Amino acid sequence: MVANASPHDGMTGSLAAGAPSVPFAAASSGLIVSIVRTRAQFDVLEADWNALFARCAKGAHVFQSFNWNWHWANVYLAEADNSLALIALYRGDRLVALWPLQEARLLGARVLEWMGAPVSQYGDILIDPDEDARAVLECGWRTITQDLRVDALHLRKVRADANVLPLLQTQRSRIASRSEAPFLDIASAPDLATYETRYSSKTRKNRRRLARRLAEAGAMRIERLADGPDAAEAARATVLLRRATLHATGRVSPALDDARYARFFAEATSGTKPCGCRVTRILIDGKLVASAIDVTQHGARAAHMIAHDLQYEACGPGVTMVGDWVQAAFEDGIGVLDLLAPAHSYKWDWADSSVDVADHVVATSWIGRSMVVPYLIEVRPRLKNAWEQLAQWRAGRQARGDRAPACDGRAEANG
């Protein structure tokens, strides 16, 4: 049963203070459910969300912080948009679980997705460690099916260790795609020198040779920037460089082509509501030749994006960049350097292991079963593959071979 009264009525900083008509429902577990639909209601969650995040977040929840999603809302959520569908679970006055969801339309159907798309690389729910996870999942599922009454869930980039996975397995979710996220177990070694002994001498020698060759191309400088106008501009330049590289090699990324993608990272690194986002860039004679964006939370660092100027490809600027990522991880006391999905071959040159990641689809109505699931499982992957092949064909017709290399390729430009 849904009631109009909030358990926080009259409390300073409460959800009700900014959301007078938020629905709440009492569950048999004693949990109180709030469905957050508007931006104003989302903003009021800040203190409660931050407190919950501090208590329960793991390194894999790097994209579930309030500040990260606040920047996302500024960029991707229209001011009058009521598509949010966050499920906030309270025990008394304490936020104990959060489902960061939004509602989208697909083929006319109502579909729940994670907040944060397309910039977030993992999706999950936050659960207070003192709570019964099963009760939280059951309460959230009842809210989805009885109150939100959507047609399907399309939850992308769910890790094999995610809090939400047991629910998806119980509901017999369909898998739209699978991938792996390679990672470096930085905490497994006391220092960088010890860590690097796991790589072969040939690999270490080749990496040093590439770094020297890159330095020989001109005056080289590596900069790490965060929380300020310089970082914001560097983040924007990183996205533009990555976009140019994809176009030149015939790959497709509608997310990167959207101007909001660059704007998001510029805002996330600006210093306003810091979310652990940072830029590393390599300059040769003042020219940007490689750049990368990472995000850090709770002792884990996610290597979100890396890009390099194709003229310097033979010098392996990406190898030097990842090497600096590893060095910085030791300097900053990071336990895990997550290279994220998909598991490209260059990531395996560095990684110790990986975690499975999958896109899950669950139908909750006849429309979901008959339209949404077939489209996401069968049709859309084929359309995406066809579009990528067309883009590669077009790129192959362009004169890419006349790019003058900025350095020679006597060293193997790989890991």
Domain shared by 30 and 143, yes or no: yes
**Within a domain: 27:** yes
Q: How far apart are CA 181 and CA 161, in angstroms?
A: 12
What does 81-149 look like in DSSP terms, one character per residue? ---B-EEEEEETTEEEEEE-EEEEEETTEEEEEETTTTT-S----EE-TTS-HHHHHHHHHHIIIIII-
Q: How far apart are CA 33 and CA 131, in angstroms?
A: 14
Contact by Cβ (8 Å): 341, 180: yes
**Within a domain: 402:** no
Domain shared by 248 and 157, yes or no: no
- pLDDT tens readout for residues 224-265: 999 999 999 999 999 999 999 998 888 888 999 999 999 999
User: Helix or strand or coil: residue 310?
Assistant: helix
Q: Are strands 277-284 and 220-226 parallel, antiparallel or unpaired?
A: antiparallel
Contact by Cβ (8 Å): 262, 273: no
**Within a domain: 389:** no
**Within a domain: 404:** no
CB proximity list for 277: less than 8 A, separation 6 or greater: 68, 226, 235, 265, 268, 269, 293, 294, 295
Domain shared by 308 and 250, yes or no: yes
Domain shared by 191 and 299, yes or no: yes
Domain shared by 22 and 148, yes or no: yes
Q: How far apart are CA 349 and CA 343, in angstroms?
A: 10
Q: Tokens for 72?
A: 């996302």
Predicted confidence pLDDT, tens digits, the chain (415 residues):
333 333 343 332 334 334 333 444 444 579 999 999 999 999 999 999 999 999 999 999 999 999 999 999 999 997 657 799 999 999 999 999 999 999 999 999 999 999 999 999 999 999 999 999 999 999 999 999 999 999 999 999 999 999 999 999 999 999 999 999 999 999 999 999 999 999 999 999 999 999 999 999 999 999 999 999 999 999 999 999 999 999 888 888 899 999 999 999 999 999 999 999 999 999 999 999 999 999 999 999 999 999 999 999 999 999 999 999 999 999 999 999 999 999 999 999 999 999 999 999 999 999 999 999 999 999 888 877 777 777 667 666 654 555 557 776 544 444 4
Cross-strand bridge partners of residue 296 = 301
Question: What pLDDT score was predicted for residue 396?
Answer: 66
Owning domain of residue 346: 183-356
**Within a domain: 208:** yes
Domains contained in the chain, number = 2
Domain boundary among 172, 205, 238: 172
With CA atoms as reference, report the closest residue to 284 among 345, 175, 211.
Answer: 211
Integer CA distances (angstroms), 241 to 194, 315, 410, in order: 34, 17, 25
- For Cα atoms 13, 14, 18, give the angle at the middle one, nearest 5 degrees: 90
HSE-CB for 98 with a 13 A CA cutoff: 28
Domain shared by 233 and 109, yes or no: no
Exposed, middle or buried: residue 12 (CB in 10 Å: 0-12, 13-18, 19+)? exposed
Domain shared by 345 and 224, yes or no: yes
Q: How far apart are CA 324 and CA 330, in angstroms?
A: 10
Segment (H or E) for 214: helix 201-216
Segment (H or E) for 33: strand 32-36
- How far is CA 129 from its chain centroid? 23
Integer CA distances (angstroms), 166 to 76, 282, 335, 362, in order: 30, 43, 26, 13
Q: Are strands 94-99 and 287-297 parallel, antiparallel or unpaired?
A: unpaired
Contact by Cβ (8 Å): 109, 148: no
- Percentage of the chain lying above the pLDDT 70 cut: 88
The CATH number of the domain holding residue 266 is 3.40.630.30
Question: What pLDDT score was predicted for residue 115?
Answer: 97
Contact by Cβ (8 Å): 71, 273: yes
Domain shared by 350 and 263, yes or no: yes
- pLDDT tens readout for residues 177-195: 999 999 999 999 999 999 9
**Within a domain: 102:** yes
**Within a domain: 275:** yes
Question: What pLDDT score was predicted for residue 381?
Answer: 80
Contact by Cβ (8 Å): 317, 353: no
- pLDDT tens readout for residues 89-118: 999 999 999 999 999 999 999 999 999 999
